[in-house]
Amino acid sequence: MIRQRIGLALYNLAVWVVVLAIAFPLFWMLSTALKPNDETFALPPTLLPVHPTLEQFQRLLTETPFTTFFVNSVIVGLCTTVLVVSVAVLGAYGLVRFRFPGRELIAHLVLFTYLLPAVLLLLPLYLIISRLGLANSLAGLVIAYTTFALPFALWLLRSFIVAIPIDMEEAAMVDGASRMRAFVEVVIPQALPGIISTSLFTFIMSWNEYLYAMVFINVDTSKTLPPGVLTMLNQNQNVEWALLMAASVLMSVPVLVGFSFLQSHLTRGFGSGAVKG
Domains of the chain by residue range: 1-62, 64-276
How far apart (Å, rounded) are the C-alpha atoms in residues 85 and 168?
23
pLDDT-derived band at 266, boundaries 50, 70, 90: low
- Which pLDDT value is given to residue 275? 41
* Range with top average pLDDT, 129-138, 172-181, 263-272: 129-138
Q: Are 187 and 101 in contact (CB under 8 A)?
A: no
Is it the case that residue 269 has pLDDT exceeding 60? no
Which of the listed CATH numbers 1.10.1740.10, 3.30.930.10, 3.40.50.12780, 1.10.3720.10 matches domain 64-276? Answer: 1.10.3720.10
Please choose, from the candidates 109, 199, 205, the residue with its C-alpha nearest in 3D space to the C-alpha of residue 156.
Answer: 199
Q: Decide if pLDDT at 5 tops 50.
A: yes
Between vectors from CA 181 to CA 177 and to CA 184, what angle results, nearest 5°? 145
Exposure string for 196-215, b = 16+ CB within 10 A, e = fewer: bbbbbbbbbbbbebeebbbe
Bigger pLDDT: 96 vs 265: 96
C-alpha to C-alpha distance for 80 and 195, rounded to whole angstroms: 14
Under 8 Å between Cβ of 88 and 150? yes
pTM for this model (two decimals): 0.82
Taking the alpha carbons at both ends of the chain, their separation in whole angstroms is 39
Phi first, then psi: give them for residue 14, nearest 5 degrees.
-65, -40
